[in-house]
């Protein structure tokens, strides 16, 4: 399967911080995001591509949970500071 392409842009005008294009398997992330918010948003948009039929609430909750854990453990293991 085609790998998911990630692009960084200033997305404020659309009032979103991330966008997912399912058919293209392409994600846009607001370039100003950092830390846990960046990781959570990246996971959120990947989940949309992988689970196109999931509603926004399911994606939101699962991505928040996963993002918090991933960020916490990356810091704990010294992968990020």
Interface positions, 18-47, toward Zn ion (CB under 5 A) = none
Least Å distance, CB 36 to Zn ion, is 17
Interface positions, 50-79, toward Zn ion (CB under 5 A) = 56
Going from the C-alpha of 35 to that of each of 20, 23, 41, 72, 76, the distances in angstroms are 20, 28, 10, 10, 14
In the complex with Zn ion, which residue's Cβ is closer, 53 or 81? 53
Beta-carbon contacts of 14 under 8 Å, excluding residues fewer than 6 positions away, are none
Least Å distance, CB 18 to Zn ion, is 7
């Amino acid at each position: 399967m085609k790998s998911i392409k990630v692009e960084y842009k200033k997305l404020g005008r659309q009032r979103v911080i991330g966008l997912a294009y399912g058919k293209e398997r392409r994600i846009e992330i607001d370039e100003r995001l950092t830390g846990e918010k960046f990781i959570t948003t990246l996971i959120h948009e990947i989940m949309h591509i992988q689970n196109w039929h999931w509603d926004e609430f399911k994606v939101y909750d699962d991505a928040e949970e996963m993002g918090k854990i991933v960020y916490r453990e990356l810091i704990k293991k010294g992968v990020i500071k």
